[in-house]
């Protein structure tokens, strides 16, 4: 007999919601994966059944993102936070500088790590404006001889997102896309390296995706630890050491789900509709709800706002919790409210939250 499960409205910023159909399939295959008599977690990462899982996930990512053949797709560990160090360790050569666009806490952390390995500077920053916006492309400052230009495509804490990516010419463009990868079509060829922790739109925590252009890979420093070389993982198809096999299996299933939804165009259209439900509630509230991000920089993944008084905000968050909305508190560093509407968050959840916001305003205005 199937047990009825009450699913909550999950707006957590990460780890975040996963598609229910993916969870159900994983549940069905948990003990006996495709007739092997073992869980996928028990399979040798050198076995043929796991090899198929691994390679299918890579192929699916290539297909969905239209990744050109001159890029490697890697599955690493350590999250985006390890990439903050691996990138300068591999690509910030002596005598070179790297430019960082400062749009929030995660770009700050990436910049801080890079300073340990060489010379870095701010290409642009919106910190003075409390990270309410994304710099205009024409405002970016960088030099043709720079090792790379680094951006954070979506800022989970402040709720801002790049709408247009810069053309950097010969300067490699590197992007942390942890919180909006797979949410909309992108031109991968604009970037020399894209990295993303899986726990927002790609799968469970524990897997980090790196998409790296082969010519950049060839320029990497060699006098660094073996496990921290991108080349090590590229040469071994991300199987140099034991990978997070279950996480990669789940990632592959999420990619299958995304394909069945209609791919990135369909996902992007749905994400627009979901986010607009909540932004409309903010914009029509006459100042009862106050959005943090400027309108031309608003994120479709993380919607950040405050209420007009601190007392109302506390009451709002408490009532949201009672109504079954989880993960609505803003990041601990800034407070306020945040609703994360990643790919797997259903339209119905966003509609329910929008209706809750409208009703709360009526009762407390």
Q: Which residues are catalytic?
A: 106, 176, 200
Return the number of other C-beta atoms located less than 10 Å from residue 256's C-beta. 18
Helices (H), the chain: 20-29, 48-65, 79-91, 105-114, 214-217, 230-235, 245-261, 263-283, 310-322, 347-364
Measuring CA to CA, which residue among 227, 218, 228, 223 is closest to residue 94? Answer: 223
84's CB contacts (< 8 A; 6+ apart) are 109, 110, 112, 113, 114
Tokens found for residue 18 = 């996963």
Return the number of other C-beta atoms located less than 10 Å from residue 171's C-beta. 19
| Sequential DSSP letters for 45-84 | TTSHHHHHHHHHHHHHHHHHHT--TTEEEEEESSHHHHHH
As to burial, measured by CB atoms within 10 angstroms (0-12 exposed, 13-18 middle, 19+ buried), residue 51 is: middle
Cα separation of 65 and 82, whole Å?
23
SS3 assignment, position 346: coil
């Amino acid at each position: 007999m199937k047990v009825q499960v009450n699913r909550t409205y999950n707006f957590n910023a990460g780890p975040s919601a996963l598609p229910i159909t993916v969870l159900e399939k994983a549940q069905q295959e948990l003990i006996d994966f495709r007739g092997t008599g073992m869980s996928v977690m028990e399979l040798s990462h050198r076995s043929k059944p796991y090899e198929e899982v691994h390679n299918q996930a890579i192929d699916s990512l290539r297909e969905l993102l239209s990744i050109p053949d001159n890029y490697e797709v890697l599955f690493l560990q350590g999250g985006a936070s390890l990439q903050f160090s691996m990138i300068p360790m591999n690509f910030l050569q002596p005598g070179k500088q790297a430019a960082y666009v400062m749009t929030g806490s995660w770009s700050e952390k990436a910049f801080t790590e890079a300073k340990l390995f060489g010379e870095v500077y701010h290409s642009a920053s919106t910190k003075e404006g409390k990270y309410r916006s994304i710099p205009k492309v024409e405002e970016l400052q960088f030099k043709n001889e720079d090792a790379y230009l680094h951006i954070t495509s979506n800022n989970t804490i402040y709720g801002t997102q790049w709408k247009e990516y810069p053309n950097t010419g010969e300067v490699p463009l590197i992007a942390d896309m942890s919180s909006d990868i797979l949410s909309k079509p992108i031109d991968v060829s604009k970037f020399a390296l894209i990295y993303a922790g899986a726990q927002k739109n790609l799968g469970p925590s524990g897997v980090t995706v790196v998409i790296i252009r082969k010519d950049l890979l060839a320029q990497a420093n060699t006098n660094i630890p073996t496990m921290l070389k991108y080349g090590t993982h590229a040469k071994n198809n991300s199987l140099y050491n034991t990978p997070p096999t279950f996480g990669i299996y789940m990632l592959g299933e999420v990619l299958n789900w995304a394909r069945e939804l209609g791919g990135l165009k369909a996902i992007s259209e749905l994400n627009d509709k979901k986010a607009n439900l909540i932004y409309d509630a903010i914009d029509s509230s006459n100042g009862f709800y106050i959005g943090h991000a400027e309108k031309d920089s608003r994120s479709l993944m993380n919607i950040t706002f405050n209420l007009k008084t601190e007392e109302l905000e506390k009451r709002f968050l408490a009532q949201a919790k009672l109504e079954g909305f989880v993960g609505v508190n803003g990041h601990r560093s800034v407070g306020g409210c945040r609703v994360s509407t990643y790919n797997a968050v259903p339209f119905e959840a966003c509609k329910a939250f929008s209706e809750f916001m409208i009703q709360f305003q009526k009762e407390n205005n």
